[in-house]
Protein backbone atom coordinates (compact mmCIF):
# COMPACT_ATOMS: atom_id res chain seq x y z
CA UNK A 1 0.00 0.00 0.00
CA UNK A 2 1.23 3.47 -0.75
CA UNK A 3 -0.28 6.89 -0.15
CA UNK A 4 2.33 8.66 -2.27
CA UNK A 5 -0.28 10.01 -4.60
CA UNK A 6 -1.91 13.27 -5.49
CA UNK A 7 -5.06 14.12 -3.58
CA UNK A 8 -6.57 16.22 -6.36
CA UNK A 9 -9.93 14.62 -5.67
CA UNK A 10 -12.99 15.88 -7.55
CA UNK A 11 -14.73 18.52 -5.43
CA UNK A 12 -17.96 17.52 -3.80
CA UNK A 13 -19.96 20.55 -4.90
CA UNK A 14 -23.53 19.59 -4.14
CA UNK A 15 -24.84 18.94 -0.65
CA UNK A 16 -25.77 15.34 -1.45
CA UNK A 17 -22.33 14.68 -2.92
CA UNK A 18 -20.63 16.13 0.17
CA UNK A 19 -22.74 13.94 2.41
CA UNK A 20 -21.85 10.87 0.33
CA UNK A 21 -18.17 11.74 0.48
CA UNK A 22 -18.35 12.11 4.26
CA UNK A 23 -20.14 8.77 4.60
CA UNK A 24 -17.37 7.11 2.60
CA UNK A 25 -14.70 8.66 4.82
CA UNK A 26 -16.55 7.60 7.97
CA UNK A 27 -16.99 4.06 6.62
CA UNK A 28 -13.31 3.85 5.69
CA UNK A 29 -12.26 5.12 9.11
CA UNK A 30 -14.43 2.53 10.85
CA UNK A 31 -12.99 -0.29 8.72
CA UNK A 32 -9.43 0.83 9.42
CA UNK A 33 -10.12 0.92 13.15
CA UNK A 34 -11.66 -2.54 13.05
CA UNK A 35 -9.29 -4.39 10.75
CA UNK A 36 -6.39 -2.14 9.79
CA UNK A 37 -5.37 -1.61 6.19
CA UNK A 38 -6.05 -5.26 5.38
CA UNK A 39 -9.72 -4.74 6.19
CA UNK A 40 -10.01 -1.72 3.92
CA UNK A 41 -11.32 -2.56 0.47
CA UNK A 42 -13.34 -0.48 -1.93
CA UNK A 43 -16.16 -3.02 -1.80
CA UNK A 44 -16.22 -3.05 2.01
CA UNK A 45 -16.23 0.74 2.17
CA UNK A 46 -19.06 0.95 -0.34
CA UNK A 47 -21.10 -1.59 1.60
CA UNK A 48 -20.51 0.12 4.95
CA UNK A 49 -21.31 3.56 3.51
CA UNK A 50 -24.39 2.33 1.66
CA UNK A 51 -23.16 3.53 -1.73
CA UNK A 52 -22.11 1.86 -4.95
CA UNK A 53 -18.57 0.71 -5.59
CA UNK A 54 -18.51 3.06 -8.56
CA UNK A 55 -19.35 5.98 -6.28
CA UNK A 56 -16.25 5.27 -4.17
CA UNK A 57 -14.05 4.94 -7.26
CA UNK A 58 -15.38 8.18 -8.75
CA UNK A 59 -14.57 10.14 -5.61
CA UNK A 60 -11.36 8.50 -4.42
CA UNK A 61 -10.00 6.30 -7.17
CA UNK A 62 -8.18 3.20 -5.93
CA UNK A 63 -7.44 1.96 -2.40
CA UNK A 64 -4.16 3.86 -2.15
CA UNK A 65 -5.81 7.21 -2.83
CA UNK A 66 -8.66 6.39 -0.47
CA UNK A 67 -6.15 5.47 2.25
CA UNK A 68 -4.30 8.73 1.64
CA UNK A 69 -7.55 10.67 1.96
CA UNK A 70 -8.36 8.85 5.20
CA UNK A 71 -4.93 9.65 6.62
CA UNK A 72 -5.28 13.33 5.75
CA UNK A 73 -8.79 13.36 7.23
CA UNK A 74 -7.45 11.88 10.47
CA UNK A 75 -4.61 14.42 10.58
CA UNK A 76 -7.04 17.32 10.07
CA UNK A 77 -9.17 16.07 12.98
CA UNK A 78 -6.08 15.43 15.13
CA UNK A 79 -4.80 18.97 14.57
CA UNK A 80 -8.18 20.54 15.29
CA UNK A 81 -8.48 18.42 18.42
CA UNK A 82 -5.02 19.24 19.77
CA UNK A 83 -5.60 22.98 19.23
CA UNK A 84 -8.95 22.71 21.02
CA UNK A 85 -7.31 20.93 23.95
CA UNK A 86 -4.44 23.42 24.22
CA UNK A 87 -6.25 25.75 26.58
CA UNK A 88 -4.63 26.91 29.81
CA UNK A 89 -5.81 25.06 32.90
CA UNK A 90 -4.13 27.84 34.86
CA UNK A 91 -2.17 30.94 33.84
CA UNK A 92 0.94 30.15 35.90
CA UNK A 93 3.96 28.49 34.19
CA UNK A 94 3.37 25.00 35.56
CA UNK A 95 -0.29 25.31 34.56
CA UNK A 96 0.73 26.09 30.99
CA UNK A 97 3.09 23.11 30.86
CA UNK A 98 0.39 20.87 32.32
CA UNK A 99 -2.08 22.08 29.68
CA UNK A 100 0.39 21.45 26.85
CA UNK A 101 1.23 17.93 28.01
CA UNK A 102 -2.42 17.06 28.64
CA UNK A 103 -3.29 18.45 25.20
CA UNK A 104 -0.93 15.98 23.53
CA UNK A 105 -1.79 12.94 25.64
CA UNK A 106 -5.51 13.61 25.44
CA UNK A 107 -5.43 13.90 21.68
CA UNK A 108 -3.41 10.72 21.28
CA UNK A 109 -5.81 8.89 23.59
CA UNK A 110 -8.83 10.12 21.64
CA UNK A 111 -7.39 8.96 18.30
CA UNK A 112 -5.34 5.96 19.40
CA UNK A 113 -7.07 3.23 17.37
CA UNK A 114 -6.74 4.98 14.03
CA UNK A 115 -3.33 6.35 14.95
CA UNK A 116 -2.13 2.79 15.58
CA UNK A 117 -3.18 1.78 12.07
CA UNK A 118 -1.23 4.54 10.35
CA UNK A 119 1.83 4.31 12.62
CA UNK A 120 2.01 0.59 11.88
CA UNK A 121 1.58 1.23 8.16
CA UNK A 122 4.34 3.85 8.29
CA UNK A 123 6.90 1.17 9.22
CA UNK A 124 6.63 -0.27 5.70
CA UNK A 125 5.23 2.60 3.62
CA UNK A 126 7.49 5.66 3.21
CA UNK A 127 4.61 7.80 1.96
CA UNK A 128 2.50 7.15 5.06
CA UNK A 129 5.59 7.81 7.19
CA UNK A 130 6.28 11.11 5.42
CA UNK A 131 2.76 12.43 5.91
CA UNK A 132 2.76 11.24 9.52
CA UNK A 133 6.10 12.91 10.19
CA UNK A 134 4.89 16.21 8.76
CA UNK A 135 1.82 16.05 11.02
CA UNK A 136 3.98 15.23 14.05
CA UNK A 137 6.31 18.15 13.38
CA UNK A 138 3.28 20.41 13.01
CA UNK A 139 1.97 19.25 16.41
CA UNK A 140 5.37 20.14 17.83
CA UNK A 141 5.02 23.66 16.45
CA UNK A 142 1.62 23.98 18.16
CA UNK A 143 3.20 22.77 21.42
CA UNK A 144 6.05 25.27 21.07
CA UNK A 145 3.75 28.19 20.25
CA UNK A 146 1.51 27.44 23.22
CA UNK A 147 4.50 27.47 25.59
CA UNK A 148 5.91 30.76 24.28
CA UNK A 149 5.20 32.55 27.61
CA UNK A 150 7.51 30.24 29.57
CA UNK A 151 10.56 30.56 27.29
CA UNK A 152 12.17 33.32 29.43
CA UNK A 153 11.73 31.09 32.50
CA UNK A 154 13.70 28.15 31.09
CA UNK A 155 17.08 28.32 32.80
CA UNK A 156 19.18 26.88 30.01
CA UNK A 157 21.43 28.32 27.27
CA UNK A 158 19.25 26.57 24.70
CA UNK A 159 15.62 26.92 25.79
CA UNK A 160 14.39 25.97 22.32
CA UNK A 161 16.22 22.65 22.59
CA UNK A 162 14.61 22.04 25.98
CA UNK A 163 11.16 22.64 24.52
CA UNK A 164 11.90 20.36 21.60
CA UNK A 165 13.14 17.56 23.86
CA UNK A 166 10.14 17.96 26.18
CA UNK A 167 7.83 17.57 23.21
CA UNK A 168 9.78 14.55 21.96
CA UNK A 169 9.56 12.87 25.38
CA UNK A 170 5.80 13.34 25.65
CA UNK A 171 5.27 12.40 22.01
CA UNK A 172 7.40 9.25 22.33
CA UNK A 173 5.56 8.12 25.47
CA UNK A 174 2.21 8.60 23.74
CA UNK A 175 3.38 6.84 20.58
CA UNK A 176 4.64 3.88 22.59
CA UNK A 177 1.31 3.64 24.42
CA UNK A 178 -0.64 3.79 21.15
CA UNK A 179 1.49 1.07 19.54
CA UNK A 180 2.04 -1.31 22.43
CA UNK A 181 -0.52 -0.62 25.11
CA UNK A 182 -0.21 -0.06 28.83
CA UNK A 183 2.12 -2.86 29.95
CA UNK A 184 4.53 -3.53 27.10
CA UNK A 185 7.66 -2.29 28.89
CA UNK A 186 6.43 -2.63 32.48
CA UNK A 187 3.86 -4.68 34.41
CA UNK A 188 2.92 -1.67 36.52
CA UNK A 189 -0.59 -0.36 35.73
CA UNK A 190 -0.43 3.11 34.21
CA UNK A 191 -3.64 4.60 32.87
CA UNK A 192 -3.66 7.43 30.36
CA UNK A 193 -4.65 9.78 33.21
CA UNK A 194 -1.75 8.68 35.41
CA UNK A 195 0.65 8.72 32.47
CA UNK A 196 -0.39 12.30 31.79
CA UNK A 197 0.13 13.34 35.40
CA UNK A 198 3.60 11.80 35.49
CA UNK A 199 4.61 13.37 32.18
CA UNK A 200 3.41 16.75 33.47
CA UNK A 201 5.72 16.31 36.46
CA UNK A 202 8.66 15.36 34.26
CA UNK A 203 8.08 18.28 31.89
CA UNK A 204 7.74 20.83 34.71
CA UNK A 205 10.98 19.71 36.33
CA UNK A 206 12.83 19.63 33.01
CA UNK A 207 11.58 22.97 31.69
CA UNK A 208 11.05 24.99 34.85
CA UNK A 209 13.02 23.22 37.56
CA UNK A 210 9.95 23.06 39.74
CA UNK A 211 7.40 20.33 40.57
CA UNK A 212 3.97 20.41 39.01
CA UNK A 213 1.28 21.97 41.17
Q: Is the pLDDT score of 3 beyond 80?
A: no
Residue 8 lies in a domain: no
Q: What is the mean pLDDT of the chain?
A: 90
Residue 76 lies in a domain: yes
Domain limit, last residue, from 66, 86, 102: 66
Q: What is the pLDDT of residues 123-156, one digit of tens each?
A: 999 999 999 999 999 999 999 999 999 999 999 9
Residue 171 lies in a domain: yes
Whether the Cβ atoms of residue 114 and residue 32 lie closer than 8 Å to each other: yes
Q: What is the pLDDT of residue 152?
A: 96
Do residues 30 and 90 share a domain?
no
Do residues 74 and 62 share a domain?
no
Residue 10 lies in a domain: no
Residue 9 lies in a domain: no
Count the domains in the chain.
2
Query: What CATH number should be reported for the domain holding residue 170?
Result: 1.10.357.10
Percent of the chain scoring above 90 in pLDDT: 77
Do residues 161 and 141 share a domain?
yes
Residue/partner pairs of 83-92 with CB below 8 Å, 24 or more apart: 83/142, 86/142, 86/143, 86/146, 92/213
Sign of CA dihedral 181, 183, 186, 192: positive
Q: What is the pLDDT of residues 53-103, one digit of tens each?
A: 999 999 998 898 999 999 999 999 999 999 898 887 678 999 999 999 999
Least confident residue range of 2-16, 43-57, 86-100, 106-120: 2-16
Residue 4 lies in a domain: no
10 pLDDT tier (thresholds 50, 70, 90): low
> Residue length, the chain?
213
Torsion of CA 131, 136, 139, 144, to 10 degrees: -130
Residue 7 lies in a domain: no
Domain with 42, as residue range(s), is 15-66
Do residues 160 and 89 share a domain?
yes
Residue 6 lies in a domain: no
Do residues 77 and 150 share a domain?
yes
Amino acid sequence: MSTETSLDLPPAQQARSRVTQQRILEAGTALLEEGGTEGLTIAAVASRAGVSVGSVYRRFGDKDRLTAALQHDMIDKFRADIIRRFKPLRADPTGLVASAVAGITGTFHAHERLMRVFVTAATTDPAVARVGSEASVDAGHVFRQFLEPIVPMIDDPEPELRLDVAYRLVYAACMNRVLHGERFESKRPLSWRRLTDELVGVACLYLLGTPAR
